[in-house]
Amino acid sequence: MFTGIITDQGRIIELEQRGDLRARIQTSYDTAGIDIGASIACDGVCLTVVALGDDWFDMEISAETVSKTNLGTWADGRILNLERALKVGDELGGHIVSGHVDGVATITDIHDEGDSTRLTFDAPHELAKFIAPKGSVALNGTSLTVNEVNGTSFGINIIPHTQKVTTWGTAAVGDKVNLEIDTLARYVARLSEMA
């Protein structure tokens, strides 16, 4: 489990297509404190560490994961939002995030709004019903609050601090981002269907 509070920006330093995709990610995490088999969210996708070096870790990524996320757009040099898995007693600063991406949203508009930046996204039709104003979503692993929803379109604001410590400072119209809907929204919708 994760919180959607990004704690590092990693850089892809090697991608290799074997039976599955293998990615080597450079990090500022102290890798001596990471175990083989640990979970790290990379742009919101929960992946398992399979090898470690002084300032990098390797992940193996299944074709299923690539097909459901934006990982097919990954390339050497790409910067990723990283978050280590929660430990008992950690602060829950964002919202409960599983790292199981539901689909890919597309940025359709970006404009300044005061000191913040307003981004508008188009969500897959089948996921739009789970997105509500003032609810939470995880976008590329970042816990964000939804401002408004209009059909499959929804908007969020990114404050300057978030732009600085995540990849949101370099976002562009047309970018494909990993979308994880709020787990509570999924269960509420399911209970409503059964009532």
Burial group, residue 88, by CB count within 10 angstroms (0-12, 13-18, 19+): exposed
Task: Take residue 11 and report the two structure tokens written for it.
Answer: 């850089």
Residue ranges, the chain, pLDDT below 70: 195
CATH class of the domain whose range is 8-84:
mainly beta
Give me the pLDDT at residue 102, please.
Answer: 95
pTM for this entry: 0.93
pLDDT tens column, 90-120: 777 888 899 999 999 999 999 999 999 999 9
Residues 133/146, Cβ–Cβ less than 8 Å? yes
Q: Pinpoint the residues of the chain covered by CATH 2.40.30.20.
A: 8-84, 103-194
CA distance linking residue 114 with residue 98, whole number of Å = 32
Give me the pLDDT at residue 192, please.
Answer: 75
To which H or E segment does residue 192 belong? Answer: helix 183-194
CATH class of the domain whose range is 103-194:
mainly beta
Dmax (CA) for the chain in angstroms is: 53
